Chain A
Amino acid sequence: MPLEVRIPPMLRDCASGQTRFSITAGTLEEALRRLFETYPLLQVHLYDETQRLRQHVLIFFNGESVARLDHLDIPVRTGDQLTILQAVSGG
């Protein structure tokens, strides 16, 4: 099932110049794996060396933070979205 992915413009050079694209996966877990297999530099900017999500990065699946999900084995359905955001900070 195709999943729409949106990334911040500052990271577009990690994804061949795109900020909005789709990947095909059966589950959210597979979607994340395919996303970072396809665009490994994206993973460098979202996770540090210890594989922790960087402090000021948020990954939302249909508006819900992936970090707060109990598990990632969630089926992907038509119209699902994965959105990467910079956490609001400062200002």
Chain B
Amino acid sequence: MTTRVRLLVGTTKGLFTFESDAARREWRPSGPHLGGWEVYSALGDGSQSERIFVGTSHMAYGPSIRVSDNGGQNWTQIAEGPRYPEESGFALNRVWQIVSGHPSEPDTLYAGVDEAGLFVSRDKGATWTEVASLTSHPTRSDWFPGAGGLCLHTILIHPDNPRRMWVGISAVGVFRTDDGGETWRTCNEGLARVPVGTPHPEVGYCVHKMVLHPDDPDTLYMQYHQGVFQSNDGAETWFPIEDGLPGDRISTELGAPFGFPIVISRSGDRFLVPLESSDQRTMRDGRLLVYGRRRGSDRWEPVGDVVPDEPRHVNVLRDAMTVDSLEPYGVYFGTTSGEVFCSIDGGVGWDRLPGQYGRILCVKPWIQEGEHAA
């Protein structure tokens, strides 16, 4: 069966795509698409179409969602895209995340945005509505932005129950709904509050990225501002899982393990990219090291020295790392200095994809098999 593998790479200067086959050894870059626009989010819409959604924004001209129906050759803007009502006083600054809804709701898409909020489309992206129950949460007055803004950057949907979802907001925390978005509750117990200077104890938690275990939707993993955490009860409580990682939450000199992305393969292997510290936000000693924690293991290990011969004093942003759904799975990430790397051996060996780009904001896989891959 023919397999078509694409990576959608959003940068500060447009979208780039990379195309390969199941071997993922040779990659053909294309772009820039939408040159000059920041692309914070991208979604290849399933396996049966050539539709791509991207969240574009610009320092002067603001945000919008754009869609291509032919794999990126032509683009149109969504006329009725996410937009706060005038009376809300909120302003949309960026579209940080676009994800498909639950498989039982194939026309549904969700978008997470800055200024923090969740929008939903029930008509395949044509029109969008604010999930106002989240934006009007009783804690809203105490939501305080992280360094990347007041962004809703993570949207997770329970695989068996479309009414249960989690969202992550920096530097606010995790919220969960169990009734399809009608009500939300905070889920930050076990996390240490960051110094946001606001009094409400339910919020003030700087979640950087969160993923759901592929086989156990009660299990979530999180790269937090101050450490790496796991929940075994649907985010009711969190506990640290940091053995083997650089950093030490006891030592004031090193601090808790710091980084932005965390990803998980369908087989349950987890990967992240630790940074020096919250202050420096670059690779420790310039070594671009990927850490992994294999399924069943209780320790993180430095599995991949990505560029062993050269220093890389760079960062990897929260949405700039991903894992595809193939077997064996591929791991990918892009750096703030515009390089894209790929591993198809579990994060041990890494290839650099051709070209160098602007600051890489998001990396998303798009797999098509069979007729639509030809």
Contact = CB atoms under 8 A, between A and B. Distances in A.
Chain A interface size, as a band, is 20 to 34
Contacts of A45: 58, 61-62, 64
A50 B89 contact: yes
Interface in B298-326: none
Given A11-B61, A54-B61, A86-B60, A49 B75 contact: no
A81 to B, nearest CB: 20
A66 to B, nearest CB: 16
A44 B86 contact: no
Q: Is the interface of B mostly helix, strand, loop or mixed?
A: loop
A27 B81 CA distance: 31
Interface string B55-91: 0001111101000000000011101010111101111
Nearest to A40: B79
Given A54-B60, A56-B59, A86-B60, A41 B79 contact: yes
B64 A56 contact: no
B64 A49 contact: no
Given A45-B61, A49-B88, A10 B36 contact: yes
Contacts of B92: 48-49
Contacts of A13: 75-77
Contacts of B61: 8, 10-11, 45-46, 54, 57, 86
Interface string A35-75: 00000110011101111001111000000000000000000
7 contacts: A46-B61, A49-B91, A50-B91, A54-B60, A54-B61, A86-B60, A89-B59
Interface of B: 36-37, 58-62, 64, 75-77, 79, 81, 83-86, 88-92
Given A8-B61, A11-B61, A49-B83, 14 more contacts: A10-B61, A13-B75, A41-B64, A41-B77, A46-B61, A48-B91, A48-B92, A49-B84, A49-B85, A50-B86, A50-B91, A54-B62, A55-B60, A86-B61
The 4 A-B residue pairs with the shortest CB-CB distance, nearest first, are A56-B60, A45-B61, A86-B60, A49-B84
Interface of A: 8, 10-11, 13-14, 40-41, 44-46, 48-51, 54-57, 86-87, 89-90
